[in-house]
C-alpha cells in the first residue's frame, strides 16, 4: 500500500512541476510585434486579404488578354513576310488562343473570386445569382485594369513586329494592327447586325457558364468549369466570330482599346462607326448575357437565388397558411 502512495505522490509532484508557471523575469516580455496572427502573418498578407477578390479578377482578365491578343498578334503579324518567313497560325489557332486564355484565367481566379473575368458575367451573376451588387463596381474596375495591362504587355512584346508590319515605329493604324487588340466589325455589317452578333454570342457564353455552376443540373467537378468555358468560347469563335471578332467581354475590348489610344492609334479607336466601342462590344455582351441568363433560368434553373424563382408571397403569409 505504501508503494502505491509513494507512486501517486511522485506523479502529483511531476504534474505540479509540469504546470509550474514560467519565470517571466527569466524569459522576458515578448514584444507585441513578434506575435503572429495565423490569418495575417505579415502586413502584406493583411492587405492582400482586403483586395484578394479584385486582385484575382485583375490577374485572370490579364491572362485572358495576354493569350487572346497574343494569339491575334502572332497570327496577324506573321502574315507579313517582313515579320515572318511563313505564317504562324490561322483563324483556328487564333480561336484557340482566346479559349486557352479564358480557361486559364478562370482556373487562376475561380477559387477566389468566382472567375468572372468579364463585366457582363459579373452583372449576370448579380441579376440572377444573388452576387452582391456592392462588389460589382470594383470587380469591373479590376477586370478593366487587367485587360489594359494584358494589352500593354502584348503590345510591348510585339512592338518591333508591329512597327515592321506598319512600316515604321511612328505609324499606327486600325486597319493595320489596331484590330489585333480591340474588335472592329466587318465593313459589310449593319449596325443592327453588329449588335445582334455580339448579343447572340454573349448569350451563348453565359448559358453554359450557368449550367456548369448549377448544382441542381448534374453538377460537374469544379476543375471541369475551366474546360467548359474553353469549349464554349472556342465554339463561339468558330461559329460566330467572323463578323465582329466576338468581343463578348466589355473589359477585353475596352482595356486594349484604351491601350491603343494611348500608344498612337488616335481617337479613331473611339469614333469608329459612331462610337461602335460603346454600343456593340459593351452593351451587346451585357444585354446578351442578361437575356441568356433569363432564358436559362426560365427553362432550367430552380434555385431561389434567381429573380425568376422569387416567391410573390411574403414569408409571414406563407407561415400563417401553414
Choose among 233, 169, 165: nearest CA to 202: 233
Q: Which grid coordinates are listed for 155?
A: 503590345
Q: List pLDDT tens digits, range 94-148.
A: 999 999 999 999 999 999 999 999 999 999 999 999 999 999 999 999 999 999 9
Q: How far is CA 204 from CA 18, 99, 144, 207, in A?
A: 68, 14, 22, 6
> What is the rounded end-to-end Cα distance, in angstroms, of the chain?
70
Q: In this structure, how many other beta carbons lie within 10 angstroms of the beta carbon of residue 4? A: 8
* pLDDT, tens only, 2-22: 444 444 455 444 444 444 454
- Residues 101-113: tens digit of each pLDDT: 999 999 999 999 9
Give the per-residue pLDDT at 19.
47
The CATH architecture to which 53-301 belongs is Up-down Bundle (1.20)
Sketch the domain layout of the chain as residue ranges: 53-301
Euclidean distance between CA atoms 242 and 188, whole angstroms:
12
Q: Supply the pTM of this predicted model.
A: 0.86
Amino acid at each position: 500500500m505504501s508503494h502505491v502512495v509513494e507512486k501517486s505522490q511522485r506523479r502529483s509532484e511531476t504534474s505540479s512541476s509540469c504546470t509550474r508557471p514560467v519565470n517571466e523575469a527569466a524569459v522576458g516580455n515578448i514584444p507585441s510585434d513578434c506575435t503572429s496572427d495565423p490569418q495575417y502573418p505579415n502586413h502584406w498578407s493583411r492587405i492582400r486579404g482586403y483586395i484578394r477578390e479584385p486582385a484575382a479578377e485583375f490577374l485572370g482578365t490579364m491572362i485572358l488578354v495576354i493569350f487572346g491578343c497574343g494569339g491575334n498578334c502572332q497570327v496577324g503579324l506573321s502574315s507579313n513576310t517582313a515579320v515572318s518567313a511563313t505564317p504562324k497560325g490561322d483563324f483556328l489557332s487564333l480561336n484557340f488562343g482566346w479559349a486557352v486564355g479564358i480557361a486559364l484565367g478562370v482556373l487562376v481566379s475561380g477559387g477566389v473570386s468566382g472567375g468572372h473575368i468579364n463585366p457582363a458575367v459579373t452583372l449576370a451573376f448579380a441579376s440572377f445569382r444573388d452576387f452582391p451588387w456592392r462588389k460589382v463596381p470594383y470587380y469591373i474596375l479590376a477586370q478593366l485594369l487587367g485587360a489594359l495591362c494584358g494589352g500593354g504587355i502584348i503590345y510591348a512584346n510585339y512592338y518591333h513586329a508591329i512597327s515592321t508590319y506598319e512600316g515604321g515605329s511612328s505609324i499606327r493604324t486600325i486597319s493595320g494592327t489596331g484590330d489585333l487588340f480591340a474588335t472592329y466589325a466587318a465593313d459589310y455589317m449593319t449596325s443592327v447586325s453588329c449588335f445582334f452578333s455580339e448579343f447572340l454570342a454573349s448569350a451563348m457564353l453565359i448559358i453554359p457558364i450557368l449550367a456548369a455552376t448549377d448544382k441542381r443540373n448534374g453538377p460537374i467537378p469544379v476543375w471541369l468549369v475551366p474546360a467548359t468555358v474553353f469549349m464554349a468560347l472556342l465554339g463561339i469563335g468558330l461559329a460566330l466570330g467572323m463578323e465582329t471578332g466576338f468581343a463578348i467581354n466589355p473589359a477585353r475590348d475596352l482595356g486594349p482599346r484604351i491601350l491603343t489610344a494611348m500608344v498612337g492609334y488616335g481617337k479613331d479607336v473611339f469614333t469608329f462607326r459612331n462610337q461602335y466601342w460603346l454600343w456593340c462590344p459593351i452593351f451587346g455582351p451585357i444585354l446578351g448575357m442578361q437575356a441568356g441568363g433569363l432564358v436559362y433560368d426560365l427553362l432550367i434553373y430552380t434555385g431561389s437565388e434567381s429573380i425568376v424563382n422569387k416567391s410573390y408571397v411574403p414569408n409571414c403569409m406563407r407561415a400563417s397558411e401553414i
